[in-house]
Structure 1
Amino acid sequence: MYWYDYFRNEDLEDDEFYCPYMEFMSRQQQQIGGPPQFGGMPPQMGGSPSQMGGSPMGPPPNITPSKKNAQAKFMPGTFAVDPGSLRPCRFRYVYIWPRRGRGFWAWLNYVGRRSASGFRWTGNRWVRFGIDLREIETFICF
C-alpha cells in the first residue's frame, strides 16, 4: 500500500483521489450555507474580528509598564522566549521589550515555535509586524 492510498476513497474511480480538506469544506458549506470562501480570509465561524486575525478595535492602554513587573523574566544567557509562555498572550495587549530598541505595544494573532506576528502600535495606529522570539528580551500581557 502506497502512502497516497491512505487518502483514497474505496468507491471512487482509479483516477480520482479523495481529499479530506474538500470533504471538510463541503460539510462546512452545508452547516453555514453558501459556497466555501477561498482566497483571502477564511470564513468567519464566530468570535470578534479581533479574535479572527484582525487588529484590535482601539488603542492599547495609556500606560507604559515597568520592566520589573514583566511576567517572563529570563536569565542573561537565555537564547529565546519560550513560545508556550507567549501563547496565552494571543488576542490580548502585550508590551514587548526587544533585545535592541525601545519597547512597544503589540496585539499578537500568531505565536509559533520561532516567531510571533500580529499588530504593533505606532502611536496613532496599528501596523502589521512579525518578530523572531530570539529578539524578545521580555514581555508582559494585559
Structure 2
Amino acid sequence: MAFRPPLGPPPGQPPGTQQVPQPLTPPPSFIPPQPAPFRIDPGAIEGCLFRFTYLWLANGEQFWFFPVFVGSRSIAGFRWTGRTWRRTGFDLRLIIAFTC
C-alpha cells in the first residue's frame, strides 16, 4: 500500500500550513518501458499518489515524478532533476503515458 500522510496539519500547526513530504530517496535507477499512449484520467493516475511514477509528456520530456495531488485537470508533486526533487505541477492533458 502506498504511503499517505495524515490528514490535517501536525499538532500545534495552524490549518492550511501542512507540508507535503517530498520523497526521502531517489527514484529507481531504471526507465520503465513506455506503455501505449492513452487519455489520462484523473481517477487512473490517482492510484499513483505518493508513489514513484514515471511520466511521458506530449512535448517529449520524460522523468520520474512523485505525485501528491491530482485534481480534475492538474497534477502536482515533485519532479526528479537527476540530483534532487523539485516541487512542480502541470496540466493532465500534457501527459501521454505514465507508470507507477
TM-score range, shorter chain: 0.7 to 0.9
Aligned-pair Cα RMSD in Å = 2.3
Consecutive unaligned residues in structure 1, runs of 5 or more: 1-27, 43-51
Higher RCO, Cα 8 Å, sep 6+: 2
State the Cα distance separating 1:37 from its structure 2 match: 2.2
Aligned equivalent of 1:58: 25
State the Cα distance separating 1:102 from its structure 2 match: 1.9
State the Cα distance separating 1:40 from its structure 2 match: 6.2
Aligned equivalent of 1:126: 85
The structure where helix makes up a greater share of residues is 1
Aligned mates of 2:60, 2:21 — CA distance in 1: 26
Aligned mates of 1:129, 1:135 — CA distance in 2: 13
- Larger Cα-atom Rg: 1
Aligned equivalent of 1:22: none
Moved over 2 A (4+): 39-42
5 Å matches for 1:1-142? 36-38=12-14, 41-42=17-18, 53-67=20-34, 70=35, 73-74=37-38, 78=39, 81-141=40-100
Aligned mates of 1:91, 1:58 — CA distance in 2: 13
Consecutive unaligned residues in structure 2, runs of 5 or more: 1-7
Q: Which amino acid aligns with 1:82?
A: D
Residues matched between the structures, number: 92
The Cα offsets for residues 45-89 of structure 1, whole Å up to 9 and x where unpaired, read as: xxxxxxx7211010000001111xx3x741xxx4xx100000010
- Percentage of matched positions with identical amino acids: 42
Aligned equivalent of 2:3: none
The Cα offsets for residues 18-45 of structure 1, whole Å up to 9 and x where unpaired, read as: xxxxxxxxxx9xxx9x7x5226633xxx
TM-score norm. by structure 2 comes to 0.81
